[in-house]
Amino acid sequence: AQSVTQLDSQVPVFEEAPVELRCNYSSSVSVYLFWYVQYPNQGLQLLLKYLSGSTLVESINGFEAEFNKSQTSFHLRKPSVHISDTAEYFCAVSRGSTLGRLYFGRGTQLTVWP
Amino acid sequence: DVKVTQSSRYLVKRTGEKVFLECVQDMDHENMFWYRQDPGLGLRLIYFSYDVKMKEKGDIPEGYSVSREKKERFSLILESASTNQTSMYLCASSPHTGLAGTDEQYFGPGTRLTVT
């Protein structure tokens, strides 16, 4: 089975500070990588994904993530956070052969303070 | 826009009751999923379905069953609700296009179930 580790359960930061949310996965085969975000009282929505090609992927609201195959990591970063980025963030991994199944990490609660 | 709807946002049931959670998607997706979300444990897959009448167990199927009689609808059934099934339940759907595993999942808003 896949294993996805999000190293920090809670990350508090001040507004306009940079942030990194860490994600590591265990796999000996090719995987596809996703970050989802869950705002309070809502379901999850896709933030960004890596399928192939450039190892740096970006979202429309300023987040980026870099696929590092040698370190089996897919960390999420943003150079300057806003209060509206306060949410829970989930890293997820898919193997191509599992009918669309995703394996999720336990989540990181990002709280941005004014 | 893809829309995944769940029948209730909040539900309170008594121990031993049979509970039905309904999920409907409007984008003709092949795959549908039921997760439960608990603080500190993230999302855990209960069951998923890749076609009508087809189902696969996830990581925590015990105490649950599912039904998919129509493509757009995926039901989660708690045969005899227990207090340890108090949780947030999330439904999701995804298409099956191109290479399996590359498509995003679209989530409903969740049902917060309390079993007393």
If one counts the domains in chain B, the total is 1
Which DSSP symbol is given to B82? -
Q: What is the mean pLDDT of each run of 10 residues along chain A (114 residues)?
A: 87 97 85 93 92 89 93 95 97 80 93 96
* Pick from B4, B42, B104: CB nearest A49: B104
CA dist., res. A29 & res. B60, Å (int):
24
- The predicted structure's pLDDT at residue B82: 97
- The predicted structure's pLDDT at residue A27: 74
Distances (CA, A) of A71 to A23, A26, A36, B3, B61: 10, 10, 21, 36, 33
The sign of the torsion formed by the CA atoms of B78, B65, B87, B82 equals positive
* Pick from B43, B104, B109: CB nearest A104: B43
Q: Does residue B16 fall inside a structural domain?
A: yes
Q: Does residue B103 fall inside a structural domain?
A: no
Work out the minimum CA distance from A30 to partner chain B, whole angstroms: 11
User: Which residue of chain B comes nearest to A93, CA vs CA?
Assistant: B101
- The predicted structure's pLDDT at residue A31: 83
User: Which residue of chain A comes nearest to B29, CA vs CA?
Assistant: A100
Q: What is the CATH number of the domain that holds B33?
A: 2.60.40.10
Chain A environment of B98 (Cβ under 8 Å)? none
CA dist., res. A54 & res. A67, Å (int):
9
Which DSSP symbol is given to A28? S
- The predicted structure's pLDDT at residue A28: 63
Chain-chain contact of B100 with A105 (C-beta, under 8 angstroms): no
Q: Does residue B39 fall inside a structural domain?
A: yes
Q: What is the CATH number of the domain that holds A52?
A: 2.60.40.10
CA dist., res. A74 & res. A94, Å (int):
13
Chain A environment of B10 (Cβ under 8 Å)? none
Nearest alpha-carbon partner for B24 in B71, B61, B88: B71
Nearest alpha-carbon partner for B28 in B79, B82, B103: B103
Q: Which amino acid is at B35?
A: Y
The sign of the torsion formed by the CA atoms of B109, B64, B113, A6 equals negative
Chain-chain contact of A96 with B100 (C-beta, under 8 angstroms): yes
Q: Does residue B101 fall inside a structural domain?
A: no
| pLDDT, tens only, B31-41 | 999 999 999 89
Chain B environment of A98 (Cβ under 8 Å)? 100-101
Chain-chain contact of B109 with A42 (C-beta, under 8 angstroms): yes
Q: Which domain holds residue A87?
A: 3-113
What is the interface size between A and B, counted as CB pairs within 8 Å? 74
Q: Does residue B102 fall inside a structural domain?
A: no
Work out the minimum CA distance from A96 to partner chain B, whole angstroms: 5
- The predicted structure's pLDDT at residue A63: 96
* Pick from A41, A96, A107: CB nearest B101: A96
Share above pLDDT 90 across residues of chain B, in percent, rounded to a whole number: 84
The encoded tokens of residue B28 equal 């003709």
* Pick from B44, B100, B109: CB nearest A100: B100
If one counts the domains in chain A, the total is 1
Q: Which domain holds residue B10?
A: 4-95+108-115
Distances (CA, A) of A18 to A21, A47, A64: 10, 17, 12
| pLDDT, tens only, B63-104 | 999 999 999 999 999 999 999 999 999 999 998 877 777 788
Average pLDDT along chain B: 93
